[in-house]
Chain A
Amino acid sequence: MSVIEVKNISKTFKVKLKEKGLKGSLKSIVKPKYKKVQAVKNISFNIEKGEMVAFIGPNGAGKSTTIKMITSILYPDKGKISVLGLNPEKDRKKLAYEIGTVFGQKEQLWTHLTPYDNFKFFGAIYDIPEYQIEKKINELKELFELDEFINTPVRNLSLGQRIRCEIVASLIHEPKILFLDEPTIGLDPVVKENIRTLIKRMNKEYKTTVFLTSHDVSDIEKLCKRVIIINNGQLVLDDTMENLKYHYLNKKIVEAKMKEPVNLDGKDGLTILKDRGYNIKIEVDTTKKSVADAIKLLNPDNIIDINISNIPLENIISSIYKDGDTK
């Protein structure tokens, strides 16, 4: 069952133009000029219940605009959106009770209050009965391990602790869909991993649908089974993570330590990434040359040590972004 249905939505912004200098400023008062920027162009996708989907794209791709349209903050110019059967444009208030949002770069907690007081506050604004708020706080306190700092003012918490509290605050009203916008931004690797584990646990426990935006490829790789890529306002890929890796991982990285230097210049299907004589790093395009053939070219008797790895997901995504730019 689809919980989010997006059909051919488009959004155009009117941006004021100003010529340079004082003359330009005065001119823009008398005769303002505007240009139209199409932030989102005819996008369609569906999200199923309980899915964890990564919605990614480079800066200015139209991600935030799309999320804001789904969460009823902005209205599309064209197309139709349905979230849990509701029209975000018309049922904004009803929808607010069904969704949760966490913006890594924006605090929604009251910094001078403790997380506990904040959770009570969020419970109240979502009209949850008092006894139920207490129950929910206790439950989430356990799940997100907040015991140690639940009564410390938010301003005194570390970023990792704060993000955990932000997520809990957005879960108090048991939303069916959680929108996570860069939830791990600015966190150290250990805390990032911790947050990812907690998000996974939450998805498993409550079957919450997660719509994730992140520039951190590890977030996407470790949390999501499906990825939607948007660039220049257009949808450039909507596929499972498995398929993404399978179709795009047609390149392997071979790093070898050699007894004697080897010359691979001009060999079809091979790109030399690093050549330091005895140490060589090459990229093998497996559609043109097999890894075995590449190793033969290196001469197995000449190899002291070898490492064959996949291209990092980050590079795959970057190349998809670049493909989108050139189209």
Chain B
Amino acid sequence: MKKYWFIYKSEVMSDLQYIFNLLVGFISYLILIYIFLNLWNYMYDDPTQVINGYTKNQMIWYVIITEILWMTVGGRKLCRKICDDVKGGNIAYNINKPYSYIGYALSSHLGGCTVKAIMFTILGMITGIIFIGEFPKLTILSCIMVLITALLATIINTLLIIFVGLISFFIEDANPFYWLYSKFILVLGTIFPIEYFPSIMQPILIYSPIYVVSYGPAKLFVDFSWEKCLFIIIAQIAYIIIAYLLCRLLYKKGVKRLNVNGG
């Protein structure tokens, strides 16, 4: 594990050099929040009204949290990097190192997420306090649990993106698959909570990655319950195990097909 800690640490150190690059991300984050703030203002007649179990303030906080999670992961870059590594042959230089490529990609990406997570959390909290004025009722312990589920959500999201990226072992370009995945998470999991969807869709969404990647931590933040927390964490751990095993399987099969020419 020490080597993965070092990979993580090196990525954090490297990313600290680019802290100002986050500025563009901040702007798009604020624009998105502003759009949804207006949308919920339009939909809710008054702040006490409850739609599908959420008050207006809860809905705004929900989007703030899911957007933090989404902006933190920034999966397009990771997927493109893995595709380029596979197609350009760069993966060859990782194969003969004494670490697992999946472990390397995961810890390195989580390192890249760390600075973004801190910055977007600060920005998100300030934005929430300014626009909403009040913070959801959370104890220190429940806050810690939300952070744990957010961390697990980031790990799952990263593993799923690695999985999508590894598809490029078998097809020319995996980026369209990432596009589909990102739209699936963004439309069905970031903007609206699961309760907003037709009841026929809800059981499917509960077992989909949306539940563990975005809905879970955001739901706990706006409406914390220990029962839900336990269920979300169990689901997240199961997802991590499954996603990791799928990545390993795909990688193992892919490496056997690897064609690295030139040099």
- List chain A positions with a Cβ less than 8 A from chain B: 13-15, 39, 60, 63-65, 67-68, 71-75, 92-93, 95-97, 99, 101, 103, 105-106, 108, 110, 112-113, 117, 120-121, 124-127, 181, 213
- The interface residues of chain A, by DSSP majority, are classed as mixed
Q: Are B3 and A125 in contact (CB under 8 A)?
A: yes
Closest chain-A Cβ to B89's Cβ sits at a distance in Å of: 9
| Cross-interface CB contact of B7 among A106, A108, A125, cutoff 8 Å | A125
Q: Are A39 and B10 in contact (CB under 8 A)?
A: no
Segment of B93-101, B223-231, B237-245 in the binding face = B93-101
Q: A110-B14, A124-B3, A125-B6 are in contact. Are A65 and B261 (CB under 8 A)?
A: yes
Q: Which residues of B contact A126 (CB under 8 A)?
A: 3, 98
B259 interface hit (Cβ, 8 Å) = yes
Q: Are A112 and B6 in contact (CB under 8 A)?
A: no
Q: How far is the CA of A60 from the CA of B261 in the complex (A)?
A: 8
The 8 closest A-B CB pairs, nearest first, are: A64-B263, A124-B6, A96-B98, A112-B14, A125-B3, A73-B92, A71-B96, A112-B17
B137 interface hit (Cβ, 8 Å) = no
Q: Are B260 and A73 in contact (CB under 8 A)?
A: yes
Q: Which residues of A contact B7 (CB under 8 A)?
A: 121, 125
- List chain B positions with a Cβ less than 8 A from chain A: 2-3, 5-7, 10, 13-14, 17, 90, 92-93, 95-99, 256, 258-263
Q: Which residues of A contact B5 (CB under 8 A)?
A: 124
Q: Are B98 and A97 in contact (CB under 8 A)?
A: yes
Q: Which residues of B contact A127 (CB under 8 A)?
A: 2-3, 98
Q: A73-B92, A75-B256, A124-B2 are in contact. Are A112 and B261 (CB under 8 A)?
A: no
Chain B residue with Cβ nearest A15: B259
Query: Can you report 22 A-B residue pairs in the complex whose CB atoms are below 8 A from each other?
Result: A13-B259, A15-B259, A39-B261, A64-B262, A65-B261, A68-B263, A72-B95, A73-B260, A75-B256, A96-B97, A96-B98, A97-B98, A103-B263, A106-B93, A110-B10, A112-B13, A113-B14, A121-B6, A124-B3, A124-B5, A124-B6, A126-B98
- The interface residues of chain B, by DSSP majority, are classed as helix
Chain A residue with Cβ nearest B258: A74
Q: Which residues of A contact B99 (CB under 8 A)?
A: 125
Q: Which residues of A contact B262 (CB under 8 A)?
A: 60, 64
Chain A residue with Cβ nearest B3: A125
Q: Are A92 and B2 in contact (CB under 8 A)?
A: no
For the A-B complex with A68-B263, A108-B93, A125-B7 known, give 6 more contacts whose Cβ atoms are closer than 8 Å.
A13-B261, A93-B98, A96-B96, A99-B96, A124-B2, A127-B3
Q: Which residues of B contact A125 (CB under 8 A)?
A: 3, 6-7, 97-99
Q: Are B98 and A14 in contact (CB under 8 A)?
A: no
Q: Are A117 and B13 in contact (CB under 8 A)?
A: yes
Q: How far is the CA of A103 from the CA of B260 in the complex (A)?
A: 14
Q: Which residues of B contact A121 (CB under 8 A)?
A: 6-7, 10
Chain A residue with Cβ nearest B17: A112
